[in-house]
Every structure is written in C-alpha cells, then in structure tokens.
Structure 1
Amino acid sequence: MSDVAARFRRARKPRILAVHPGAELYGSDRVLLESVAGFVADDMDVTVVLPADGPLVVALRDAGARVEIAPTLVLRKSLVSLRGIPALIGQSVLGAVHAWRAISRFRPDAIYVSTVTIPLWPVIARLRRTRVMSHVHEAESSASATVLRLLYLPHRAAHAVVVNSEFSRGVIASVDPDLGERSVVVYNGVAGPAAPSAARESLTGDIRLAYLGRLSPRKGPDLVVDAVIALRGDGLPVRADLIGAVFSGYEWFEDDLRETIAAHGLRDTVALTGFHSDVWPFLDAADIIVIPSRSDEPFGNTAVEGVLARRPVIVSDTSGLREAAAGFDSAVTVPADDAAAIAAAVRRIADEWPAMRDAAERSAEDAATRLSPERYRRELVGRMNALLAPRG
C-alpha cells in the first residue's frame, strides 16, 4: 500500500466505480483489466459497469471486481450522423438514467471513466459531487478540430485526466490547451508471456509472419496479405497468421480479405485465426510480428506484445505506434499504408536475422521493465489515491 494510501485510508475500503465501453479483450479492454487489478490489489472495493457481456467480464471477476451490465451511451460513428440522431438521443437518456442510479446504488468515492467514448459519466459524476478520473485511450489527429473539441469536452468535468502517451496528450492540447495541460501521461502496462521462447536460430523453410489486432481497414491486415503476395511473387517463402476478429458492422472487410486470399491461391498460406484471448502461442510460432495501422494509434499495445514475445516487429511509423516502439532495437518502422515497405522490411530482417534475433532478446528484457503491468498499476493507483485524498 502506498504512503498516500496509508495516510488517508478510511475505516472502510474506498469504493471505485469503473466504467468501460466494451467487454472484449483487445487493447483498451486489457488496460482496464490492469487498472482494476491495481485498484483491487491496493485494497479498493471495485465495481465495473459494462454495456454488454463478453470475455472481459470473467477476467474482471477473476481479478476481484464486481461487474454490472447496464445500458451506457457509447459513441459510435453510426450514432454521429443524421440517421443516428434518434438512437443517440434515446441512448443518451437511457444511459444517463442508469448512470445516475448506479451512483446512487454504489455510492462510490471515485469514478474511473475508461476512454472518451462514454461521455456522460464525467458530467454526471460532477453533478453528483463524486470525484472522477478520465482515462483517455483515443487520439486521432486527422479528425477535425470541432469533432475533437466535442469529444473531449465532457472530460473537462473530470478532476483528474490520465492519457496513455505523449501523442494523445498532444492531440488533446491541440484543441483544448487547458485539458492538455491537466493531462498526465501513464504509459500502458503490457503483460508478456509466462514462458517466452527465443526466436529460432535460422530462418529455414517458410518465414512466418503474424498480424495482431482487429480485422478492420484502419488496422491494415490487408497490407500484410499484400506483402505476402509480393514476397512470394519474388520467390521468398512466407506465410502469415492474422490474429483477430472484425468489429460488428465490418464483416464485409473479412469477406474481402478471404476473397483476396482465395484469388491468389493463399488459403493454405494466410490463416484468419479469429479472436484469441491468449495470443502467445501464435506469436511464439511466428518469426516476425507486423503491426501495420493506417490511422493514428494513441499507443501500440500490440507492438509491445510483439517485442515481449522476443520477435522482431514491423510497425507503422505513425502516432503512438512510433512512441510505443521507440528505443527497441528489434522494432523496424515503415511508412503507413505501404505494403511494399512491409515486404522490404521483411526482407531486411531476414537478411540480418542473427542481429535482429539478438536485438529481439535485448528489447524484450527492456520492455518487460519499462512497460510492465506492475509499473503501470503503481503509477495509476498513485493517481487514484491522490484523487481520493481528503481535500483541505
């Protein structure tokens, strides 16, 4: 228990109400899980409100939290349109009612709002005179200034704002300097495999690539497929696993991927594995991890997972991905949206395999310290305890 916590701890455990927009186990979901685990380990009583059931529910309960499923307004692109306005209004009213009732029922000492896509909670927490922390996981510098201002506006109500990268803080500051000034960077904590294995000593046979993330246009798994096509066309034997699933409404993108794979005779070469909560067996079987996002990423959890897997990593040279991969000799950056550059990076890594293999070992050790879950929990819990401390 921290010194601040020991000094200000009340007779009962502090009650934390955490709110999150999903129930899967992708990047921000895993960050929420680490946050909750840190609060519980620091002797806090944690309840988590989610809008739906999913694999995150079991993980949260295993971490020692209670979970409630309740209607919550989650900002989606489908709602921010003329056609989506009726649904936006209806979900706003329903979400506000349930948020108000949840605060009355749980009487939290603080509310932890995970991501900016659930905008009602900071405002309602303020109205209920409850301390609130917003944790910003999103940053899209390509969005218009008006959209960004509206997105961040509700989080001006937060008493504390945590962001996951300097890039995220910079995007906030570009449209709201005061909120950017108040924001504090706490880099994500990324757990590595229980028993990491070294990359194979020589690349005999097929070179095995792995993509990790959602199957969506912005994440760029199609670029990996295009790189495989180009490399095999040049005579380099490569294969790839695409580890992840589509978000609801993007089934067409998976269909397009499958059509491309079939059209080039790659059904036995490129595998769509679907979502797996345990990705380490797939990364362990790979030689090179590819994280080819086209769009801004606030941070790069998947890139760090590739580093922790003791494999060379190819990442788009953009936004938070660049920040997450910085300082790791095993990370090779390429221009975003460039399959030819990915193919060239694969060739370079293959040509320099002994050196890249050694770099992957060093980088994994560095990442396990710099971006450990323990460091993340310590920093975030410290921020929460400061928020809970009596105010003079």
Structure 2
Amino acid sequence: MTNARTVLVVHPGAEMFGSDRMLLESVIGFVESGARVVVALPARGMLDVELRRAGAEVVIIPMLVLRKVLLSFRGLPTLFRDMFRGLRASWRLISRVRPDVVYVSTIIIPQWPLVARLRGIRAVSHVHEAEASGNRLVNALLYLPHLAAHRTLVNSRFSLDTISHALPALTRRSVVVYNGVASPEGPAAPRDSLDGPLHVLYIGRLSPRKGPDVVIDAAAELTRSGRDVRVTLLGAVFAGYEWFEDDLRRRAAESGVQVDFAGFHQTIWPFLEQADVLTVPSRVDEPFGNTAVEGILARRPVVASDSSGLREAAGGYPTSRLVPADDPQALAASLAEIIDEWTTVRGGVDESRRIALERHAPERYRATVSGQVLVAS
C-alpha cells in the first residue's frame, strides 16, 4: 500500500475537543496501517494518554502555536521566542525521527510544513479551521504556510470554499475528508413521552463564540411560555475566560431556569443519554460540527445554527433542525416544536443514526486519511 513507514504527527494541544479527537482517529489509522507513529505535542494532557494507548510514541517539544494573544504588540516577544525555539526543536526532532511524512494537524502550527519542505520530507496539512466571516487577508496569512505542504486535507466543503476565497492556490492540492465520529454500540432510545421538563444539553467550550448563553436565553423564553425546561452545559472555559462563566451563572440565576454547569468530561455519552435534545448554537463559523453528529448518533434530536460547516454536519437528517445563529427566539421555537411533535421526532432517530453511521464511520475516516498521507513521496 505504501512506502511511508514512519509518520511524524504534529498537533498544537493535548486536550480532547473536536480537532484533538480527529487527530487521535488519524493516528489510530496510521498505526492500523502498520506505520511507526511519533506525535509531537507542546504539553502533556488527556490526548497524550490516549495517543500512547493507541500505540503512538509521544514527545513534548516547544513549538509556535498561533494564539490570538500572540498576535498583538504585547504578544510579539513571546511569538518571536516561540518561533525560534520551535524552529530549533522541529529541526532536531526531524533529524532524530527521520520520518517519511510529516502530518500537520490544524493551521495554527505554521512552521511545520515549511520545515518539512526544507528538509525534503513529504508534508500533509489537515485543516480544521474555517472562518468565512473573518478578514480575508488574515485568513490568507494563516493558510499561506500550508502551501509548502504536498497535500491539504479539509473537513468540509465549507472549509474548502473558505480556503478558496482566501488563498485559491491552496485548493488545487486540497481534498475534503469528512470527520469520522465514534458512536456507542447501542445508545438508549429517547423517552417514550416528555413527562416532566425537557432536558436540553449543550456540549462544548463555554465561550461567547459557541453560544451557550443563547441556550439559557431560549430556555428562559420557553419557561415564560409555560414550558418546563432544564439545561445542562457540558464544557469548560479557556483560561482567561472565567468572566464568561460568571456571566453565564448570573444569567442562569436571573432567568429562573435550572442550569447544571457540569464542567468538562471526556466521555459525553452518559450526558447525551440523559438528554432529550442537543443544541449546537454557535454564533460564528464552524468548519464542521462533530458535536451535532454525536447527538444524532446518540439517537437524540439536534438543533444547530444554520451556518457554515454546521449545515453539512447537521443537515439532511429527519431529526435535526437548523435555526438562525444568535437567535434565542428561533431556538426556543424549534425546541417547542420538538416538544409538540415528540412522537414523530422519536420515531425518526433510528433513521438519522443510520445515515450518520454511513457518513461518518471512524473506520472510513481512518482509511481515507491514511490513504492520503501514507503514499510514496
């Protein structure tokens, strides 16, 4: 199948959110193909543990990770420090590992495609970010280093269109690979009837971009109309965004809605089993929407923002609904519709799950990514 037998994988973090989970699936695919896999991370974390469990070697090295805090006058000293430290560390690691291919996960570690190209090594970038509403010049600068890669994988047509708008040259070597999303073997069926409150679940970062406050406001709208609703927020804030969680708690207290701040949990399926409906209320562009697919695989109706990659992730299912972003009234109306049509919604969850299993089987994702990465240089 391939002449490439050592894959150096580079990723900018060690958490277990969307792109982290996809990185893990890619690594599992490489290991299953028989390749030696070495993963470079900037820090230890839950992803590190899962990668080693999957059969990869993990090394922790300094690297330049483009964060917003670095793209300011105050952040410039740290940016230059990380750039030089990262360049030296990447050069040494490649000399030690001697990889056949370098797999660069996300666009925010821009040095790696360039270093791989300078060393004469095949590089593949996997783009998990797309913000069509962002500044075109900024987007072009973020994508530019990945022109050095021999191939670029993107996770949705929306991401490809965003790249095409910002940097058309990059699309000529780009391939769409839809995310693979894992699923429990036999997820529990939804409740026969909605006796008691509607249990609404949100999964994701607690950040203004992701819109958990929209869920609270929608639940408050339903409560004012006489509906009984409870909300669970499954996720945590980035360091420095503690103020937003404080705001959410204050908003929840003022709304009169029972809101459970469950924090971050690596395993989401027990929370989906306890939920009646999953919401994905992002305000901004999402390159895809793994969480929406996970809700469908868990046999739960999903209400997502009608924007960006979420249309590809949540569209086309009998039990999914798309609503305007940043619109609590629209979200409340969709939730009310699900309550009123519960018998019909409940009857469609198995067909939705069947479609999602076909579209997003992890085995297909692993095989596709491996086939794109593990080819002769």
Q: TM-score per shorter chain, which class?
A: over 0.9
Are residue 216 (structure 1) and residue 207 (structure 2) matched?
yes
Are residue 110 (structure 1) and residue 101 (structure 2) matched?
yes
1:104 and 1:329 mapped to 2: Cα distance? 52
State the partner residue of 1:364: 353
2:185 and 2:202 mapped to 1: Cα distance? 21
2:279 and 2:64 mapped to 1: Cα distance? 33
Are residue 309 (structure 1) and residue 298 (structure 2) matched?
yes
Of 309, 319, 340, which aligns to 2:308?
319
Deviation at 1:265, TM superposition (A): 3.8
State the partner residue of 1:228: 219
State the partner residue of 1:379: 368
Deviation at 1:326, TM superposition (A): 2.1
2:9 and 2:242 mapped to 1: Cα distance? 30
2:188 and 2:355 mapped to 1: Cα distance? 16
Q: Secondary structure at the match of 2:296?
A: helix
State the partner residue of 1:15: 6
2:177 and 2:234 mapped to 1: Cα distance? 27
Q: Secondary structure at the match of 1:208?
A: strand
State the partner residue of 1:78: 69
Q: Is the Cα–Cα contact under 8 Å of residues 315 and 321 in structure 2 kept in the other structure?
A: no
Of 185, 193, 215, which aligns to 1:194?
185
Q: Is the Cα–Cα contact under 8 Å of residues 272 and 298 in structure 2 kept in the other structure?
A: yes
1:264 and 1:175 mapped to 2: Cα distance? 42
2:256 and 2:157 mapped to 1: Cα distance? 43
1:69 and 1:194 mapped to 2: Cα distance? 34
Deviation at 1:64, TM superposition (A): 0.5
Query: Which letter maps to 1:91?
Result: D
Deviation at 1:329, TM superposition (A): 1.3
Q: TM-score, normalised by structure 2?
A: 0.98
Are residue 299 (structure 1) and residue 288 (structure 2) matched?
yes
2:288 and 2:255 mapped to 1: Cα distance? 33
Q: Secondary structure at the match of 2:64?
A: coil
2:92 and 2:134 mapped to 1: Cα distance? 34
Of 88, 102, 115, which aligns to 1:124?
115
- Residue by residue, what CA displacement relative to the aligned partner does 1:274-302 show, whole Å, maximum 9, x if unpaired? 00000000000000000000000000000
1:194 and 1:49 mapped to 2: Cα distance? 32
Deviation at 1:114, TM superposition (A): 0.2
Q: Is the Cα–Cα contact under 8 Å of residues 220 and 256 in structure 2 kept in the other structure?
A: no
State the partner residue of 1:330: 319
State the partner residue of 1:149: 140
Q: Secondary structure at the match of 1:217?
A: coil
Q: Is the Cα–Cα contact under 8 Å of residues 190 and 299 in structure 2 kept in the other structure?
A: yes
Deviation at 1:263, TM superposition (A): 2.6
- Residue by residue, what CA displacement relative to the aligned partner does 1:215-263 show, whole Å, maximum 9, x if unpaired? 0000000011111111111110010110111112211111111111223
- Within 5 Å, which residues of 2 pair with 1:22-171? 22-171=13-162
Query: Which letter maps to 2:162?
Result: V
Query: Which letter maps to 1:189?
Result: G
Matched pairs, number: 377
State the partner residue of 1:345: 334
State the partner residue of 1:355: 344
- Residue by residue, what CA displacement relative to the aligned partner does 1:297-351 show, whole Å, maximum 9, x if unpaired? 0000000001001000000000000111122111100000011111000000111
Q: Is the Cα–Cα contact under 8 Å of residues 8 and 38 in structure 2 kept in the other structure?
A: yes
Q: Percent identity?
A: 55
1:385 and 1:265 mapped to 2: Cα distance? 54
Deviation at 1:65, TM superposition (A): 0.4
State the partner residue of 2:243: 252
Query: Which letter maps to 2:360?
Result: L
Could you list the structure 1 runs, at least 4 aligned residues long, displaced by more than 4 angstroms after superposition.
Answer: none
1:195 and 1:29 mapped to 2: Cα distance? 25
2:69 and 2:291 mapped to 1: Cα distance? 26
Q: Secondary structure at the match of 1:135?
A: strand
2:68 and 2:49 mapped to 1: Cα distance? 28
Are residue 272 (structure 1) and residue 272 (structure 2) matched?
no
Q: Is the Cα–Cα contact under 8 Å of residues 278 and 301 in structure 2 kept in the other structure?
A: yes
Q: Is the Cα–Cα contact under 8 Å of residues 101 and 374 in structure 2 kept in the other structure?
A: no
Q: TM-score, normalised by structure 1?
A: 0.95
Q: Is the Cα–Cα contact under 8 Å of residues 124 and 150 in structure 2 kept in the other structure?
A: yes
